[in-house]
Structure 1
C-alpha cells in the first residue's frame, strides 16, 4: 500500500468543532502517521494537494442492518444467505460512496461478511457486528406470527435475531456471538415496529437476564446496544450498564438524566420512521405492522429536542431497510433542524469511537488513527448538509489508507 501525503488541507477537528488550517497529513500502512502545520518529508509518498479543501474523518452510521434487504423480517429469515449476501453487496458499496467508512450493524451481519469487506472482496465500510440480536420469545427478534406453531427458517441463517429465555440461555447466546467475533451485543429490550407479536410499549427480558447479557459483554470488553423505545424500557437499562440506546423515541426527562449520569449514548434513527411512513408497505413491510410506525413517528423529533437540550451524547444512526437504504444521508437533514453542525458531525465520528471503545482509532484526524478520511469541497461545520451531496461535495474517499474515490 503506497503512502499518501495530503498537503494544504483544512483539517476538521471533530472533537473540538473547529478547522485546523494549512495542515499536512501523512498516511502510512493504513494509519495516520503524522499531522503537522509544517512540511512533512515523505519522498516515497503520493502527494495530493488539497488546495484548501476540507479533510474530515470518514463517517460512522451506528445503526444499520446491512443484510436487511427487505423490512419483512419473517421473509428474510427464510431466504438463502447466498442471495441475501449478493443483494447486500451493492448496498455496502453505496454506503461507502456516501462517505461512511465504518458502520455498526445492529443484527444480521457476521464474521464472514465483515471479513469479505476487510479483504475488499466486497466494497463497503468496515463492519462492526453483533451477529444475531438477543431476543426473548415473543420479543422484537421473534418473527413468528401469532398463529404460527412451527418455524420454517432457522436462527442461524439470514435473520436478524436469535430467541432465548432465562439467564442460562442468554449467557449461552451472548457467549456464542462473542465466540463468533461480535464487536458488541445487541439486546432487544422493548417492542418494535417490525415484529408481529409484541407491542411498542412492552418491556422485554427480566432484569436478571439483562444483567447477565451486560455482564457477558463486559467480560469480553465489548459494549451493549439496546433496542428500546419507551422511558419505562430505557430507564431500567441505563443503570445496568447498557452503553447505547437505539431509537428512544418515547423517553422522558428521567431518561435524559440517566444518560448523562451513566455516560451512555442515544442513537436516534429518525429517517427510518419518515421512510416507513412514506414507502414502508411498498418496500415490503406487512400492512398490519405499518400502523405501528405512527406510534413513534412524531415522538422521535420531540425526543431529539429533549436529548439535545439535556446534553445527552448522541450517535448518528439510520436503521434503514431494503430499498429505503438510499435515504441514509437524509438523517443529517432531519437532525439539523435541532442539532448544531458540530454536534451532529461529532455524532457521526468521534462520539461513535468513544461509545464503542475505540477512542483514537477512528473518528478523528490524529496521529495513530485509522486513515479513514474524506475530502470535501466545503466546510461541514458551516453547513452540515454538504455531507448530503456526495456527488458534488465529496472529492475523495479513503478507508484504511486505500483510496476508493478521487475526483481531484
Structure 2
C-alpha cells in the first residue's frame, strides 16, 4: 500500500481544493481518501508537502502511429518506424502527466497489449482502430491520379491505410465497424466532413449518407459503445449529432446555432487547438503539403472563436491535441491555447472528469475518489490559478502515478 499524505486535492470536479488530505492506494485502486491521517503501519508513505494532487490528464485525440505531418509518408515509413514513433510519443505523453490517451485513428490491439504488458512506457490506452472514410473522403489519402482500391481488408493494403479504411454503402460500413470491434476497438470514428490532411476533399463537404451514419451509430450502440465523427463545418456537426453521433472531433467552424443544438442533444465536442497552431506555425517545415497548409489557414481565424461559441452554449467539451509527427512535443501547449477562452477550472475538468465521461469511464478515471484507478499527478503550485503549470511537458510535476505504479517521484 502507498499513502500520499498532506496533499491539496483537486478531485476532477470541485472548484475548491481540500487541504491536508491523505490518499491510500492499494494495488491499482484508490482505497481511501481522508482529511484525517491514515494509519497503515506497513504502507509506503509519501509526503506531498501541500502540493496539488489531481487526477492524471486525459488526451482524447491522439494518433500514436502518425509519425509524420505528411500522412502519405506515414504509410510509406513501415511498421517498425511507426512503432518507434509511437514509443517516443507515448513516453513523452506519460512524462507530461497524461495517464490516459484515446487513439482516435490507427491505434490497435498490438500496441495496446504492449502497453499492458509493460513492453513500453505510456499511458492507459483506448483506441478506435481504423477510422471509417468514404471514397474521396478525409481518410482517403490518394491523390486524384492514383488508382482505385479493390482489396478490402487484405494484408496487401487495398482500401486500408495506417489510420483509415475506405468504405461506401451501409453493408460496407457495418462490416468495417464489426471488424474494428473484433480487433478490440473501444469506439468507432467516422469522417463526417472534409479535412486538412486529405488531398481531394474541401473542408466544407459533408461526408457519408444519413443511412450510412445511422447504421454505424446503431452498431456502436449495440456494442454499448459510441460513435465519434471528425467534423469541421457546422453542417457536418449538426447532421452527425442529429443522426446519433455522440462525440464530435474538432468542431472548428461551429456557429452559435449549431453549438446550441449540440448542447441541447447532450453530445460532446473535443476541440484540438495544438495541431491547428502547430500547422499554422511550422506545418510546411515539418513536411505537410502546401495544399493542406492552405486549407488549415482558411479556417485558422475561427478556431478560438469556435471554442468560445461552444463555451457560451454550454457544450460538454473534452480535451484533445491531434498532434502528428514531430509536433508531438507540443501536447501540453493545448492548456495555454485553451486558456484564451476557458478558465483554469474549466480546462482542468475538460482534461480529467469530462474526458473520462466521454470515455464512459467516469467510475474509474478522471477523479480522485474511492474505487477509481490510481492515475494521479502532483503539481508544484496551483493549476487552478496558473494553468501554465501543466503546459511545461511535465517539468512542474513532482509525482506521476499510473495504475498505482509510481513512474516519477521527486518528493522523497
- In the superposition, the TM-score normalised over structure 2's length comes to 0.96
The residue aligned with 2:298 is 295
The residue aligned with 2:72 is 74
Contact 2:2 2:43 in 1 (8 A): yes
Shift of 1:156: 8.5
- How many angstroms apart in 2 are the aligned matches of 1:361 and 1:296? 37
- How many angstroms apart in 1 are the aligned matches of 2:394 and 2:237? 39
The residue aligned with 2:345 is 342
Match of 1:228 among 225, 228, 231: 231
- How many angstroms apart in 2 are the aligned matches of 1:27 and 1:289? 47
The residue aligned with 1:51 is 49
**What are the residue-to-residue correspondences of 1:123-272 with 2, within 5 Å?**
123-150=121-148, 154=157, 159-272=162-275
- How many angstroms apart in 2 are the aligned matches of 1:314 and 1:134? 23
Shift >4 Å, 4+ stretches: 150-153, 155-158
Structure 1: gaps of 5 or more residues: none
- How many angstroms apart in 1 are the aligned matches of 2:42 and 2:172? 55
Could you say what secondary structure the match of 1:276 adopts? Answer: helix
- How many angstroms apart in 2 are the aligned matches of 1:321 and 1:217? 27
The residue aligned with 2:392 is 389
Shift of 1:391: 4.9
Matched, 1:118 2:121: no
Shift of 1:87: 2.1
- How many angstroms apart in 2 are the aligned matches of 1:308 and 1:326? 27
Structure 2: gaps of 5 or more residues: none
CA distance 1:156–1:400, change in 2 (3 Å): farther
Deviation per CA, 1:137-159, whole angstroms, max 9, x where unpaired?
11111111101015697268761
The residue aligned with 2:311 is 308
CA distance 1:405–1:120, change in 2 (3 Å): same
Number of residue pairs matched by the alignment: 406
Could you say what secondary structure the match of 2:302 adopts? Answer: helix
Match of 1:368 among 356, 371, 376: 371
- How many angstroms apart in 1 are the aligned matches of 2:161 and 2:183? 15
- In the superposition, the TM-score normalised over structure 1's length comes to 0.97
Deviation per CA, 1:124-169, whole angstroms, max 9, x where unpaired?
1111100100110111111111010156972687611000110010
Could you say what secondary structure the match of 2:90 adopts? Answer: helix
- How many angstroms apart in 1 are the aligned matches of 2:12 and 2:228? 23
- How many angstroms apart in 1 are the aligned matches of 2:262 and 2:148? 40
Shift of 1:389: 2.5
Matched, 1:275 2:278: yes
Contact 2:96 2:395 in 1 (8 A): no
The residue aligned with 2:25 is 27
Shift of 1:78: 2.9
Q: CA RMSD in A?
A: 1.5
- How many angstroms apart in 2 are the aligned matches of 1:180 and 1:262? 30
Contact 1:18 1:381 in 2 (8 A): no
